[in-house]
A and B are shown apart, each in its own frame.
Chain A
């Protein structure tokens, strides 16, 4: 398939991918400085999937994200300042410091939430898709899940239900090859293609590190889902370049394997396309990089200066009021 994306769109996607990458790199630094606690999962190496798929959605479409969800949120219109403020647990964060990295959400932006429970979001996606249909809108829901989640009961219950009811759900399978330390060949029997077929759901598989391949495949898939034909399963193969968490010694894989995937870096791939197609010069690329880095630096400063939530805020937001 030699279809080429429009140059302007490719530049736009490149910038969003950089924004995600630099955001994640900033978190690495903040973690090393001891400014972030808990579990923060980075999506370095997986940027092309979030950008390629979500870039095709309408503002009112829904995404349901995962514990490795910063890229999904930024691609859906999430802003760097409230993202980083949330990850630092600050008052200006998307969740006022109550959610953190694993629970970033914005109903307004159509992100029904990252999720700390592997597979926890799949049933929610079935519900938002059902809701869209009952409200007679053409909204679709894209639910991201990984190779780890693919073996949870929730995933199977949700695929069955979505297919049975022909709901507008795109099951976006991000195969980054590792569920914490367990490589997919040691966790998954059969294949996602066969599983999708078992539920009568059409399936496609693409190179998740190639933003163009993701874009063109997702275009067809989204059209199918939005047209009322029921769900679709799209598998994007990628690689989790970082450990599962910060400080993961990664004894379960070789550095040679990591280096092999580093050559397939989705951002370097786009830069190569820019050169091949004479879209941008090296200087222009450097200037774009510097611009995005400045945005991220500015957002880090904002987040670090944001105030701590008030102590008595622990008691708010547990319940909506009732009479």
Chain B
């Protein structure tokens, strides 16, 4: 990490793809508007000029065929990266993801592999309304055979994507729409971020806060305010949702005995429930208080920005959750 520079999350994504494509001729990118246009969020900007239309393929709007073609190419010696522009559009590709990509290896008795990376963008807070804002990660963690990662920093966006491309399983990389313009330090030199390892973003002794993607950044600023009030919060970014790094989470809870989980998915059936339930399984006797969850309300994401802000987790919700868990 000697030489680093500040780059954006979207530049980090594009760098990861470019490096992996340069390293391995089997790697290619395909999706809607990823080529000439450089991606709906400019996360593949410059790749088309660098690698050409054969390896940076603009596709028709056919999500199921795009992912299914990724499965077919992965089964026969390629290492595709496919993009689903908005996570909401994954609904159109669910058969290819759930019934094909995830299950081929197992159904075929292990005699096949699907080294497929599926990138997608999620998240509310931008006025995109109900069909372009969802956090559907809990749909995916349900499915054995899938790996699911969710980077919150440019460093992780690059390092996790590189690991995903090198992994011999289907890996879903869930990027955050609101984070593409955020910047952070990224090494000049080659590196990867291992799949399955959480990051402790801040050490603290009073509460363990587990927060995913943009919620982790929101949590970080809330935690600074709490620090001024004398509440010392440890912040964990799981980075990989499946398989979840319970070891890092359990170590922290053994120290703090209190937990707040912040995730943008809905209150019912969202990823916060999965973390909470795993904590019950692994850490029950370390807890001094129930796990407090901060999640989106159980309503579709509304368009109006005031209404939208009310539905998704905000700083005030995080502060209130910490006060609540500290009251026990």
Contacts and interface: CB of A to CB of B under 8 A. Distances in A.
Contacts of A128: 72-73, 75-76
B328 interface: no
Interface in A87-116: 93-99, 103, 105-108, 112-113, 115-116
Given A99-B107, A105-B111, A120-B100, A130 B59 contact: no
Contacts of A115: 100
Please classify how large the interface on chain B is, using the bins under 10, 10 to 19, 20 to 34, 35 or more. Answer: 35 or more
B210 interface: no
B56 to A, nearest CB: 12
Interface string A308-321: 00000000111111
Contacts of B67: 123
Interface residues of A, number: 49
A322 B66 CA distance: 25
Contacts of A217: none
Most A CB contacts (10 A, CB to CB) among B55, B67, B72, B109 go to B72
A160 interface: yes
Given A112-B76, A113-B108, A116-B99, A322 B70 contact: no
A240 to B, nearest CB: 23
A93 to B, nearest CB: 7
Contact of A123 (B54, B65, B77, B194): B65
Interface string B108-152: 111111010000000000000000000000000000110100000
B107 A105 contact: yes
Contacts of B71: 123-124, 127
A193 interface: no
Given A62-B76, A112-B72, A318 B107 contact: no
B60 interface: yes
Given A117-B95, A164-B60, A318-B144, A103 B108 contact: yes
A122 interface: yes
B110 A317 contact: yes
Nearest to A319: B169
Contacts of B302: none
Given A113-B104, A134-B54, A317-B105, A126 B68 contact: yes
A149 to B, nearest CB: 12
A109 to B, nearest CB: 11
B68 A120 contact: yes
B304 interface: no
A125 interface: yes
A153 interface: yes
A127 B111 contact: no
Nearest to A86: B109
B195 to A, nearest CB: 7
A316 B144 CA distance: 12
A229 interface: no
Contact of B68 (A123, A164, A321): A123
Contacts of B145: 318-319
A105 B68 contact: no
Interface string B194-214: 110000000000000000000
Q: Which 4 A-B pairs have the closest CB atoms?
A: A123-B68, A127-B72, A317-B110, A127-B69
9 contacts: A96-B109, A107-B112, A112-B75, A120-B96, A123-B65, A126-B69, A154-B68, A158-B68, A317-B106
Given A127-B75, A322-B166, 12 more contacts: A94-B108, A95-B109, A103-B107, A113-B108, A124-B71, A125-B72, A127-B76, A154-B64, A158-B68, A317-B109, A318-B144, A322-B169
